[in-house]
Amino acid sequence: MSAVENVVRKLRELEDLLVQCSRCGTCQAVCPLYKKDRQEHSVARGKMFLIEAIYEGRLEKAEEVFAHLDYCLLCGRCKRECPSGVKTDEIFLKAKAILRQVKKMPAWQKLVLKVAMGKPELLAALAPFFHMGLKVGAKKNAEGLFKPRHFLRSVAGDLADKHVVNIAPEALTKKYGGLNQAKNERMRVIFYPGCATALIYTNWGEAIIETLLHYGISVHVPEANKCCGIPSATMGELEIYKGQVNDNFDWFDSILDADTVITSCPTCEYGLADMGQTATGRSSTKRFVDIIVFLEEVLGDELPTGIPLEGSSTLHVPCHYDHSKDAVLKNFIRKHFDTDYQDLANQNCCGFGGTFNLKNYPHSKEVGRSKGEEIRDRGFKNLFTPCPGCAMQLSDSCAGADAGVAATHPVVELYRHLKQ
């Protein structure tokens, strides 16, 4: 059987998932990319139509469909709003993995991916060099973001205008890897930082761990953070992704004195708890919960209230956040901070989409642009989000709009107060 015939056969196996789509078009109204470019192949309905066209023999160039499937933020808004319950995320990830047989990943990309996924200790060891490299190759602005220096702009291509967040001089796991035992211990938890909190927003990780310790909660932290695997899945490397999920589940299972995995990245939580269990068919023995939800559920009224913040505040709710807990997130800011909190009118995706941001930066930037402009026009001084990926993108959008603010996690402000 040829590679193309094999692809056609395997795509047909997705038919049971695809036939759920009634072609109603509801997903058009919520897709951030369709809103921007009005192309049917940008939206879930159009992408699924292309998959069907291959196995029904109406379309021969299977590898071209990969590009259309890859042009997706994996924000899940189409799945969330679909009246027929179509599992669009599962369909896209499985279809991309099948199409990888005819649309091979360049060898250098596969090598980078394998190192990023399989060598977390190496990534952590390289953090000081990434940190130094950024200082040499990029210039810092007032919000602490870096932009490529002039001599690098020609090689940076589409990314020349991107403002990037500093890479920490030391990985979070170097200081906190292992069991961090609280004085007067009342319980133990696992904290899974994810790559961005382990290497970039290490101050978020520090704030989360130290806050938990402050309240007598001991924290298990990985010795080296193993990626949740979602970047592999979005690149069509489903087997690598499953390996990452299984390795992380093995580590969680090895910790017998904690039954809760606290996360600081909704996409990691989605990649492990939601899609991870679907892709591997393995049920986790642990409960996954976002740090804000955990703090409210477990500590609630023990946490300080009325922490003064200068100026008004707003919040970006990440697409992958457990939306049954959106109110908990907003109330956390209202309850614990003394600030004029206001919702954003723009509740769209920030446009980050993980690897989408690097592969399609001009489109990613365009999706996020209006959000940065609203934050500037309404003069917010504090911008919160509980997702490091969204924080990177929002900070870039705000810098592009001259909003004078960078995104942070609410726990960073809480911990700043506890330290005083």
CA atoms of 344 and 6, how far apart (whole Å): 47
CA atoms of 352 and 339, how far apart (whole Å): 27
Q: Minimum distance between the CB of residue 364 and ligand SF4, rounded to whole angstroms?
A: 11
Please list, in sequence order, all residues whose beta carbon lies within 8 angstroms of the beta carbon of residue 208, skipping any fewer than 6 positions away: 191, 197, 262, 264, 291, 409, 411, 415
Q: Minimum distance between the CB of residue 89 and ligand SF4, rounded to whole angstroms?
A: 7
Closer residue to ligand SF4 (CB): 291 or 387: 387
Give the number of other Cβ atoms within 10 Å of residue 364's Cβ. Answer: 27
Closer residue to ligand SF4 (CB): 30 or 240: 30
Q: Minimum distance between the CB of residue 98 and ligand SF4, rounded to whole angstroms?
A: 18
Scored b (16 or more CB within 10 A) or e, 368-391 reads bbebbbbbbeeebbbbbbbbbbbb
Binding site for ligand SF4 (CB under 6 A): 21-27, 30-33, 43-45, 72-78, 82, 84, 86, 88
Q: Minimum distance between the CB of residue 40 and ligand SF4, rounded to whole angstroms?
A: 10
Q: Minimum distance between the CB of residue 315 and ligand SF4, rounded to whole angstroms?
A: 20
CA atoms of 312 and 329, how far apart (whole Å): 17
Q: Minimum distance between the CB of residue 24 and ligand SF4, rounded to whole angstroms?
A: 4
Closer residue to ligand SF4 (CB): 270 or 332: 270
Closer residue to ligand SF4 (CB): 40 or 63: 40
Closer residue to ligand SF4 (CB): 29 or 132: 29
Closer residue to ligand SF4 (CB): 21 or 209: 21
Q: Is the dihedral of CA 121, 352, 344, 46 positive or negative?
A: negative
| Under 8 Å between Cβ of 162 and 142 | no
Q: Minimum distance between the CB of residue 396 and ligand SF4, rounded to whole angstroms?
A: 18
Q: Minimum distance between the CB of residue 341 and ligand SF4, rounded to whole angstroms?
A: 27
Task: Report helix angle 44-55 to 88-99, nearest 10.
Answer: 40
CA atoms of 58 and 8, how far apart (whole Å): 11
Closer residue to ligand SF4 (CB): 40 or 259: 40
Alpha helices in 221-300 (DSSP H): 230-234, 238-254, 266-269, 275-280, 291-294
Closer residue to ligand SF4 (CB): 204 or 361: 361
CA atoms of 387 and 267, how far apart (whole Å): 8
